[in-house]
Amino acid sequence: MKRVVITGLGVVSSLGNTVEDFTTNLFAGKSGIGNITKFDASSFRTRIAGEVKDFNPEPVINRKETRRIDTVAQYTLVAADAAIKMASLDLVSENMDRCGAIVGSGIGGVETWEKQHAVLLNDGADRLSPFFVPMMIVNSPSGQTAIKFGFKGPNFAVVSACASSGHAIADAYNQIILDNADVMLCGGAEASITPLSVAGFISLQALSTRNDQPEKASRPFDADRDGFIMAEGAGIILLESYEHAKKRGARIIAEMTGYGYNDDAYHITAPDESGDGAAKCMEMAVKRSNKKLTDVDYLNAHGTSTKLNDQMETLAVKKCFKEHAYSINISSTKSMHGHMLGAASAVESIATILALKNSVIPPTINQEKKDPACDLNYTPNQAVKRDIKFALSNSFGFGGHNVTLAFSKFDE
């Protein structure tokens, strides 16, 4: 079977808009959570989020184009450009029919949707932008990526709520395994810090209301957790077949060795408290990687900072790994960058890859009070040095969607 390697990474997030800044802040345990500035949230019960800061798309997208591309696709293009540059991929010499892009998003161009709906109500149907539909559709990030870089291979969007970008990466992996492509840009993006989106999650009672301490609000596995923190951004990974990467002399960062995905078939928003689906998902990823459960060194948890999810995931890890569960370093990087919804899995996969590459476990910050139901090693508050050879990244989405991605240190 073909081997699939990682040669490029790109990230836009509340922890930084370059891989370098993201890495520094990730391992330093810095929080990217702050007060919402994108709109007046003073009347909202939750007034904090993981916003992208100092974002400038113009080195990649000219000013005229930015007016015709929703923020979610702008984040995608900037992250994709960074991944291509890190991989030193020569777009002139590549066979573009063998290059593809799969980008997931949970909500898509909701910013455009809200603005144009206001235009409809206030000014009438004739005043809507002709770019409304192409800006707001969920496949805009993947389509814009193909157009921008000339990728003519497999291209589509994946929507599975907070598992979207994990499924996108797994599908991209499969395109290479099936010999449909040599190169795949994959990941996800979200730009959902908008009044309607935030209000919607507030109405679900899913968000933290720790408004007076934004940097301490996201506290996965902590006994005092009270909900997740919405965040935005993009994560893009450049996957290649090993043969293709070796032939062009690419620097290989890590290897993707497998994945697992399934569904709880339980509830539209709540996870199955038994943890059975999540446990089987992790087991599938390990098995597909031709590894043993005891080979797992690190797990980047879904770890949302909600009562139900964190308890379920802890139970699932125990069900899957038995006694080895206590030997695994676990962390939820959502404690730092927040919950990026459809982009979460991609950015957390990048965090996992960086942990493999640097032999450093990122921390779960804000671990202050132990929850008896969450008793594993969550790498509290400070990064830890560890030689990681095999790691997993979990993501679970509304609808019961589970996905686990498996990454290994590259060995020639």
Residues designated as active site = 162, 302, 339
Question: How far from chain centre, in Å, is Cα 247?
Answer: 30
Query: Residue 185 corresponds to which tokens in the numbers above?
Result: 């840009």
Please check whether residue 189 is in contact with residue 369, taking contact to mean a CB–CB distance below 8 angstroms: no
- Residue 73 burial (CB < 10 Å; 0-12/13-18/19+)? buried
Please check whether residue 190 is in contact with residue 30, taking contact to mean a CB–CB distance below 8 angstroms: no
The one-letter code for the residue type at 10 is: G
Q: Compute the distance between CA of residue 308 and CA of residue 202 in angstroms, rounded to an integer.
A: 16
Q: Compute the distance between CA of residue 358 and CA of residue 110 in angstroms, rounded to an integer.
A: 36
Question: How far from chain centre, in Å, is Cα 71?
Answer: 16
Q: Compute the distance between CA of residue 73 and CA of residue 187 in angstroms, rounded to an integer.
A: 12
Please check whether residue 47 is in contact with residue 35, taking contact to mean a CB–CB distance below 8 angstroms: yes
Q: Compute the distance between CA of residue 127 and CA of residue 102 in angstroms, rounded to an integer.
A: 33
Using alpha carbons, list the distances in angstroms from residue 71 to 68, 199, 229: 10, 19, 19
Q: Compute the distance between CA of residue 148 and CA of residue 79 in angstroms, rounded to an integer.
A: 12
Helix (H) / strand (E) element for 11: namely strand 4-12
Using DSSP's 3-state secondary structure scheme, residue 67 falls into coil
Q: Compute the distance between CA of residue 301 and CA of residue 310 in angstroms, rounded to an integer.
A: 9
- Please give the backbone phi and psi of residue 231, each rounded to the nearest 5 degrees, phi first: -145, 170
**Residues whose CB is less than 8 angstroms from the CB of residue 213 and which lie 6 or more positions away in sequence, other chains included:** none
- Dihedral sign computed on CA atoms, order 330, 334, 339, 343: negative
- What are 156's strand-pairing partners? 102
Using alpha carbons, list the distances in angstroms from residue 181 to 114, 148, 149, 339: 37, 18, 15, 31
